[in-house]
Amino acid sequence: MRAVIAGAGVVGLTTAIALQRSGIETEVHEQAPEIRAAGAGLGLWANALAVFDELGLGDRLRAIGKPAEMYFRDHTGELIHPPGFSADDHRYLLVHRARLSELLADAVGRDNIRLNSRLIGYDETDAGVDARFDDGTTVTADLLVGADGAYSVVRSLLLPGSDAVKHEGHHAWRAVVRPPDGVTIERGVIVLGEKRTRGGYVPTVDGTVYWLVNQFDAEPLHGTPKEQAAERAAFLDTTGWNPALPALIEATPDDQVLHNQIMLVPPLPRWVSHRVALAGDSAHALSPHITAGASLGVEDGLLLARLLSSSDGVPGALAAYEQDRIPHYRRVNELSKRVEDSATPEEFAANYVAFSHWMISR
Ligand SMILES: Cc1cc2nc3c(=O)[nH]c(=O)nc-3n(C[C@H](O)[C@H](O)[C@H](O)COP(=O)(O)OP(=O)(O)OC[C@H]3O[C@@H](n4cnc5c(N)ncnc54)[C@H](O)[C@@H]3O)c2cc1C
């Protein structure tokens, strides 16, 4: 069996590894000229680590990550302890996105990845699928996986009119930076602040620090991304207890502050056809207030590989995949919405850990 994957993000690469391990010859096509990872740090939860363990990559992944815990504080620095959950429900591994992408691309095998290769269309036949790329090449395979992110071309062809939509007013700013002189970061601090703002920082394995600021219902933005982040960092500390976050933002070069208008892919009525399947953000770009899109998305790839190796044919496996994923993400969306709609920091923290608990213990 032969598979072609559009997109070499974390989900496309992980799906490739899973398919290869199931004996499926797999080629990944990435539109960019290099394997690059937008973003800065990435929290991988226990469900994602279980996927990487099963793919034989767990140890290598832990070697490039730093264990971290997601506990929230309020804007005065007070720790919020939602009752009824264990320490495991708060634990995750923080990795640098670029290092994760390198690790995954090495595992896929660089010879199996085509760069500068943007999928522009496909034609399904009874026997397979012809995937067309912008360099004029066509690749014939038994299946095509669209792991091409929130702005997925594959999704737009499979489900015309299913464009990603802006999560109005929801923005994120982030970077990885070396702490400036005089700032020592020993542990992560994440705050649920005023004006629906969240943020803080987490140390990485190599002495740098990942800082992030998010806001729901943001007023129209003014200034540079760095100024926008600094303005909102003030909502996270109303008493001066935490000077580290503004110092980290200040120490970040302007061009290294990544700003995102958050995009969402609304729940889809279909994820597959006979020969084409969506995986990762192409099927379910989520609001990152639950910081779990990648952790959930890598499960898509493993499930797909399992179903393909245990079923008689591609169409049956893809139908089973869709049958599993649609109700699964309905639940993800319900739990995520509950977090977003939380009226107080205490409620947010409780709903957040309830989501994490559900995600890692299924
Ligand atoms: C601010 C923020 C913080 C987050 N934090 C976390 C976190 O801590 N933990 C977590 O689990 N998740 C987190 N997420 C979610 C996570 O980033 C995404 O869910 C994840 O990166 C999606 O991976 P993907 O491979 O599906 O898509 P992408 O990473 O978008 O990759 C898609 C790839 O496809 C390529 N591509 C696109 N179109 C084509 C085409 N036509 N042909 C070929 N290639 C194409 C793109 O260039 C890209 O390389 C966060 C998201 C945001 C916005």
For 74-94, the pLDDT digits (tens) are 999 999 999 999 999 999 999
Among 17, 34, 42, 45, the mutation site with the greatest number of ligand 1 atoms within 8 A of its Cβ is: 42
* Residue 149 CB less than 6 A away from ligand 1: yes
* Residue 188 CB less than 6 A away from ligand 1: no
CB atoms within 10 A of CB 100: 24
Q: Which CATH number fits domain 165-263: 3.40.190.10, 3.30.230.30, 3.40.50.2300, 3.30.9.30?
A: 3.30.9.30
Asked if 2-46+58-66+97-164+265-344 and 165-263 have one fold, the answer is no
The CATH number that domain 2-46+58-66+97-164+265-344 falls under is 3.50.50.60
User: What separation in Å is there between the alpha carbon of 280 and the centre of ligand 1?
Assistant: 8
How many whole angstroms from its chain centre is CA 341?
21
> Can you list the alpha helix ranges (DSSP code H) found in the chain?
10-21, 46-54, 58-63, 97-108, 153-158, 225-233, 244-250, 281-284, 293-310, 314-340, 345-361
Among 173, 290, 291, the mutation site with the greatest number of ligand 1 atoms within 8 A of its Cβ is: 291
* Residue 18 CB less than 6 A away from ligand 1: no
User: What separation in Å is there between the alpha carbon of 66 and the centre of ligand 1?
Assistant: 21
* Residue 15 CB less than 6 A away from ligand 1: no
- What pTM value is reported for the model? 0.97
* Residue 345 CB less than 6 A away from ligand 1: no
* Residue 322 CB less than 6 A away from ligand 1: no
User: What separation in Å is there between the alpha carbon of 86 and the centre of ligand 1?
Assistant: 29
Among 28, 31, 289, the mutation site with the greatest number of ligand 1 atoms within 8 A of its Cβ is: 31
* Residue 104 CB less than 6 A away from ligand 1: no
Residues 6+ apart with CB under 8 A from 171: 214, 215, 218, 221, 228, 259, 260, 261, 262
* Residue 29 CB less than 6 A away from ligand 1: yes
Query: 202, 65 in Cβ contact below 8 A?
Result: no
Atom of ligand 1 nearest to the CA of 45: 11
**Protein residue with least CA distance to atom 51, ligand 1:** 288
CA distance 224 to 214: 15
pLDDT per residue as tens digits for the range 141-175: 999 999 999 999 999 999 999 999 999 999 999 99
Task: Estimate the share of the chain in helix, then strand, then coil, as percent rounded to the nearest 5.
Answer: 40, 25, 35
User: What separation in Å is there between the alpha carbon of 43 and the centre of ligand 1?
Assistant: 13
User: What separation in Å is there between the alpha carbon of 131 and the centre of ligand 1?
Assistant: 21
Adjacent-strand bridge partners of 340: none
From first to last of its 362 residues, the chain has per-residue pLDDT tens of 999 999 999 999 999 999 999 999 999 999 999 998 766 899 999 999 999 999 999 999 999 999 999 999 999 999 999 999 999 999 999 999 999 999 999 999 999 999 999 999 999 998 999 999 999 999 999 999 999 999 999 999 999 999 999 999 999 999 999 999 999 999 999 999 999 999 999 999 999 999 999 999 999 999 999 999 999 999 999 999 999 999 999 999 999 999 999 999 999 999 999 999 999 999 999 988 899 999 999 999 999 999 999 978 999 999 999 999 999 999 999 999 999 999 999 999 999 999 999 999 98
Domain ranges of the chain: 2-46+58-66+97-164+265-344, 165-263
* Residue 9 CB less than 6 A away from ligand 1: yes
